[in-house]
């Protein structure tokens, strides 16, 4: 009799297995290109995945399936499908997949940007939004921005008097680095452990964070491949450099009691249990994970945004002249630039929007993962599928934007579309639960710096170069800055 029980149990289990597999095969996945064995579609990514995905989606649709090694992925590429991911199904699609190297750099996902959607993420997001990213906080750091921009302008003045070209990529990175160090870490970049290496470290970190790493797609052999390609050692190198900087700034806070009003002071209080983070007891690794986002998200993004704006302006002399005329008309001979002045600069705002459209800094946002089965646009997105949001494709879609490859700020005239996460045609900061919380802080520096550069100086290209020679190629990482540094000669004006 007991043998019969066993046979019935085996038949029942086999039936369940077959039923499960049949259900699986019945899923209607979004269409996608044919795959190669083992690697799937990885060979189709190329050196600029956002561009390759755009080309593939033109053929396979705005919700497309790709397979990267072992990982099933979908890519959303139109305002409608992006809205589905970031708004309609945001709650079920806003987790992050486990990414080997971001996990290492973020002290095992103790940060905000790569942490899965969880109670911890919600608490940290709430705490940092209140403590670091509020409009009040952004205002309170105004004097820091003003001091750093003033010393940046002094440097440009010297170069102008000697007619020397300025490497704007480098100098603007240094400017945003100096601001973020003082705002987020209570110390100067100059004299810190990152003083001489920050550019290399930040750039390297962005490459590591944005890489399509073999370890994520091939569970066993992937780590070996990454050791051979050098990704593993690059990750260790940038991790150690940043860790030393975090130790230095934490030590600085522990030694100087007057530093009690910034994010590190608050995190240290949480570590000591003097104040709480919901049910979580913060450790040093949590503190450093949170600081990682403050450092890398703050330094890279604002500096590169300003470089892209200046690149498009020098490549479009008509636009440069028009925006300078506006800025000079609003500022006239005043010494200080106020928030109200910025509000009056309608054309400058259009120039910035157009720059974000044509060169969004994070073109495929940070990868997301479905936390349950989702039905989207008539297709099945199974739990654990990775989701890439290709805003590059949306921003260059001819059905959304007329003549999308051209830089035309006037397209925003009498057009309500803005970049604050509500319009799915223009999403440089993302949207939904994972939207960039540092937008206000980043834009405050972008506005102040651009106005100073345009008000105080005229700009020309180095000898022998014309506007049509300006290189517009982007490099690829989590953030996509201009590949070839922008070198311009500042020319003194009556306002200098």
Residues annotated in the binding site for heme, as ranges? Answer: 436
CB of 131 to ligand HEM, least distance (A): 12
Q: Which parts are annotated binding residues? A: 436
Q: How far apart are CA 367 and CA 412, in angstroms?
A: 29
Q: How far is the CB of 379 from ligand HEM (least distance, A)?
A: 21
Task: Give the Cα separation of 336 and 342 in Å (integer).
Answer: 11
Q: Which stretch binds ligand HEM (CB under 6 A): 71-79, 134-142, 297-305, 398-406?
A: 297-305
Q: Does 366 bind ligand HEM (CB under 6 A)?
A: yes
CA gap 94, 435 in Å, rounded: 10
Give SS3 for 66.
strand
Output the smallest distance, CB 264 to ligand HEM, in A: 13
Q: Which one of residues 342, 362, 381, 450 is an interface residue with ligand HEM (CB under 6 A)?
A: 362
**What character string, x for contact with ligand HEM (CB under 6 A) and - otherwise, covers 141-180?**
----------------------------------------
Residue 203: partners with Cβ closer than 8 Å, 6 or more residues away = 300, 477
Judged by CB, which is closer to ligand HEM: 293, or 397?
Answer: 293
The yes or no reply on residue 301 touching ligand HEM (CB under 6 A) is yes
> What x-and-dash track marks residues 304-323 binding ligand HEM by CB under 6 A?
-x------------------
User: In Å, how far from its chain's centre is CA 368?
Assistant: 14
Please select the residue that binds ligand HEM; options are 302, 311, 316, 355, rule is CB under 6 A: 302
**Stretch (H or E) spanning 330:** helix 317-331
Q: CB-wise, 293 or 324, nearer to ligand HEM?
A: 293
Q: How far apart are CA 166 and CA 491, in angstroms?
A: 11
The dihedrals phi and psi of 298, each to the nearest 5 degrees, come to: -80, -40
Encoded one letter per residue, x for contact with ligand HEM by CB under 6 A and - for no contact, window 93-132 reads -------------------xx-----------x-------
Helices (H), 26-164: 49-60, 79-83, 90-93, 100-105, 119-131, 135-140, 142-162
Q: Does residue 297 interact with ligand HEM by CB under 6 A?
A: yes
Q: Which CB, 204 or 421, lies closer to ligand HEM?
A: 421
DSSP 280: B
Q: Which is nearer to ligand HEM, 64 or 294 (CB)?
A: 294
Residue number with CB closer to ligand HEM (156 or 365): 365
Does 264 bind ligand HEM (CB under 6 A)? Our answer is: no
Q: E strands within 136-255?
A: 166-167
- When the beta carbons of 132 and 314 are compared against ligand HEM, the nearer one is 132
In the stretch 424-443, what mask flags binding to ligand HEM with x, by CB under 6 A? ----xxx---xxxxx--xx-
CA distance 354 to 363: 14
Residue 55: which of 379, 368, 46 has the closest Cα? 46
The interface mask with ligand HEM, positions 61-100, x = CB under 6 A, is ----------------------------------------
Out of 71, 74, 282, 361, the residue judged to bind ligand HEM by CB under 6 A: 361
Instruction: Provide the pairing of β-strand 457-460 with 63-68.
Output: unpaired
Q: Return the exposure string of 65-102: e unless at least 16 CB atoms fall within 10 Å of the residue's CB, then b.
A: bbbbbebbbbbbbbbebbbbbbbebbebbbbbbebbbb
Contact 404, 397 (CB under 8 A): yes
Judged by the rule CB under 6 A, the positions of this chain that interact with ligand HEM are: 112-113, 125, 293-294, 297-298, 301-302, 305, 361-362, 365-366, 428-430, 434-438, 441-442, 446
């Amino acid at each position: 009799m007991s043998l019969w029980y066993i046979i019935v149990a085996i038949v029942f289990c086999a039936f369940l297995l077959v039923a499960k597999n049949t259900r699986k095969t019945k899923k209607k996945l979004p269409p996608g290109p044919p795959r190669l064995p083992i690697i799937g579609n990885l060979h189709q990514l190329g050196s600029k995945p956002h561009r390759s995905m755009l080309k593939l989606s033109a053929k396979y649709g705005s919700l497309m399936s790709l397979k990267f090694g072992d990982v099933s992925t979908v890519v959303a590429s139109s305002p409608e499908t992006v809205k589905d991911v970031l708004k309609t199904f945001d709650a079920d699609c806003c987790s992050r997949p486990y990414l080997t190297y971001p996990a290492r750099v973020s002290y095992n996902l103790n940060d905000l940007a790569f942490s899965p959607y969880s109670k911890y993420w919600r608490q940290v997001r709430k705490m940092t939004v209140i403590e670091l990213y509020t409009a009040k906080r952004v205002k309170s750091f105004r004097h820091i921005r003003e001091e750093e921009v003033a010393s940046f302008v002094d440097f440009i003045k010297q170069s102008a008097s000697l007619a020397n070209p300025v490497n704007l990529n480098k100098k603007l990175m240094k400017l945003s680095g100096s601001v973020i160090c003082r705002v987020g870490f209570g110390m100067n970049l100059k004299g810190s452990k990152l003083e001489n290496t920050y550019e290399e470290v930040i750039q390297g970190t962005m490459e590591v964070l944005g890489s399509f790493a073999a370890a994520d797609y091939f569970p066993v052999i992937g780590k070996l491949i990454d050791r051979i390609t050098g990704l593993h050692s690059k990750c260790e190198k940038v991790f150690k450099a940043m860790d030393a900087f975090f130790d230095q700034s934490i030590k600085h806070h522990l030694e100087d009691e007057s530093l009690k009003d910034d994010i590190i002071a608050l995190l240290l209080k949480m570590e000591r249990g003097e104040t709480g983070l919901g049910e979580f007891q913060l450790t040093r690794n949590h503190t450093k994970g949170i600081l990682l986002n403050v450092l890398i998200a703050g330094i890279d993004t604002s500096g590169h945004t300003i470089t892209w704006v200046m690149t498009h302006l020098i490549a479009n002399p008509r636009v440069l002249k028009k925006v300078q005329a506006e800025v000079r008309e609003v500022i006239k001979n005043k010494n200080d630039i106020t928030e109200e002045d910025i509000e009056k600069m309608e054309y400058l705002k259009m120039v910035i929007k157009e720059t974000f459209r044509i060169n969004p800094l994070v073109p495929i946002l940070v990868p997301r993962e479905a936390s349950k089965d989702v039905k989207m646009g008539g297709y099945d997105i199974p739990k654990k599928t990775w989701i890439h949001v290709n805003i590059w494709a949306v921003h260059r879609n001819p059905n959304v934007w007329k003549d999308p490859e051209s830089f035309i700020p006037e397209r925003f005239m009498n057009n309500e579309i803005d970049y604050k996460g509500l319009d799915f045609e223009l999403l440089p900061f993302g949207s939904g639960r994972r939207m960039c919380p540092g937008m206000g802080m980043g834009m405050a520096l972008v506005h102040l710096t651009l106005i100073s550069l345009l008000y105080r100086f005229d700009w020309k290209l180095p000898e022998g170069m014309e506007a049509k020679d300006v290189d517009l190629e982007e490099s690829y990482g989590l953030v996509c800055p201009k590949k070839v540094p922008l070198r311009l000669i500042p020319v003194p004006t009556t306002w200098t």
